Structure 1
């Protein structure tokens, strides 16, 4: 029979075994496949731990197509487990220098072995790697790991930087429980029928995600700079003697300028609206028109260029390929500057602190900024609808006290009061039904109708 074996680390493999195979031999076979010692293997089947090593797989109820979960046993010594000490990896901590301890000169070249009396007198210091306080301190002491946490797990990083240990522990426990529940759900789905098409897709997706994680870990180890944020190339210039931060984009076909920047530079009077249209690229934007000739001052040099004016453009100005080729510009990334061939002048690209805010926002911050703007817009619309709902028939706000002066005819109110209804109730119902007397009378009778014998 064929069984599928999965581990908590994400390894998945299939074994062709006999139902008469004993559990101890099955663990040895798994050791050959995944490298985990058979003495440290714990085998689970349908949420139940298989314990008797001499019992066969068939005796445990394992059938063809079932899935088994392989777990590694804790490597802590029995004495430490009895004292409640957490499991520790088999690591050599002798060469690790504790911050604040004595320098290398105070450390002996050969580690001293404490005597049996000292071992009995000094108790072992328990260090629980799963303790939220310990994990939080580890991240705070390692800026590199903290930066990786911000990239890979933003909610946990926010909880960590908030300074609230309880919030950090809550987010950490929630993420752990969600991960365990997801893994158990996947195992149950694959155990139901491993040869089903959906189960096969789930196994394939598990293997793919494992390969993706391995690829990302390799990239983080060998090329961590690929996870950094690259700034756009901006330079300082002047248009019509007004300072502008221009974005140098050799991938753009033409030089463009936003309508707000054109108004600020007082060149909207030169816009030829016959050149209106639509700019297509990453999205579409409306082109208001074109300024056929304008001067851009870059350093001491004055350059001539044309501008396409866009209606809704986040950046002020973009120097496109038409202007860069006309003046034989060279983008020197080694020296971080723009070299203008026709004038022989050079200008440095702006640093992170000098570029516009729209160029500093990464994708996550941009999405959060857009979400906040959307929430503010929805709140404003809700407040506007609420104010409109509380307006009376004439458009003014309805008074909170219905006994105040009403806009309805006094004759209508007196007629309904003569029927035995209270004046405040009459005005309230007329307001609800926009002055319709018949509907208000029906509503008043329905509210004041009582079943005989009912209190």
Structure 2
């Protein structure tokens, strides 16, 4: 059967696959086409995330000419729980590091609650990402006549518009991303 998948950057790709193919194999095929590792792929079908790699397309309800939406996982920006656990163990094994921690809440979490420690690490990463984004915006706004800054701003605006248009198109006219089947209904009218 033929399925189509589209990416966040509005790339459209077609795949010829078997309905009994498992999701993990589909992700491997998608990796060859997009370069996105299977671990970083999030696939959606009818706004439902496909999570079980051992399920087949048929089990997910994917049929001929269906459309899948591919989103790249932001996991590369967030530390994994195992990485946070390693950091926690490292900090716990060195009392001098525990004393050097500037945040007592983080030290307490490292001692008593690994899941809270992981959540705090993720919050710190998010804040750092937001700070970097704000610094980039400030740098771009510092010299409004810089050609390179204008190109970056233009590219950012273009990407936002592409994503907004893609979202709107998927919501209001999904038929433009696949084949429309004609339904003929026989009706009986009086006289």
**TMscore range, shorter length:** 0.5 to 0.7
The structure with more radius of gyration? 1
TM-score by length of 2: 0.58
CA contact (8 A) 2:43 2:68 kept: yes
1:77 alignment partner in structure 2: 79
- Map 1:297-336; keep pairs closer than 5 Å: none
Q: Which deviations, in whole Å up to 9, do the C-alpha atoms of 1:289-312 show, x marking residues without a partner?
A: xxxxxxxxxxxxxxxxxxxxxxxx
CA distance in 1, matches of 2:82, 2:167: 30
Give the gaps of 5 or more residues in structure 1: 83-115, 157-171, 197-455
Shift of 1:194: 1.6
- Map 1:71-150; keep pairs closer than 5 Å: 71-74=71-74, 75=76, 76-79=78-81, 117-118=96-97, 121=101, 126-129=127-130, 133-141=134-142, 143-148=146-151
Shift of 1:141: 4.7
TM-score by length of 1: 0.27
Shift of 1:61: 1.1
Shift of 1:136: 2.7
Between Structure 1 and Structure 2, the one with more helix by share is: 2
By relative contact order (CA 8 Å, sep 6+), the higher-ranking structure is 2
CA distance in 2, matches of 1:43, 1:193: 16
CA distance in 1, matches of 2:162, 2:9: 12
2:166 alignment partner in structure 1: 183
Question: What SS does the aligned partner of 1:55 have?
Answer: coil
Between Structure 1 and Structure 2, the one with more strand by share is: 1
Question: What SS does the aligned partner of 2:167 have?
Answer: helix
Verify: 1:54 aligned to 2:54, yes or no.
Answer: yes
CA distance in 2, matches of 1:81, 1:34: 27
Give the gaps of 5 or more residues in structure 2: 85-93, 104-123, 181-191
Distance 1:80 1:146, change over 3 A: farther
CA contact (8 A) 1:65 1:191 kept: no
CA RMSD of aligned residues (A): 3.6
CA distance in 1, matches of 2:170, 2:131: 24
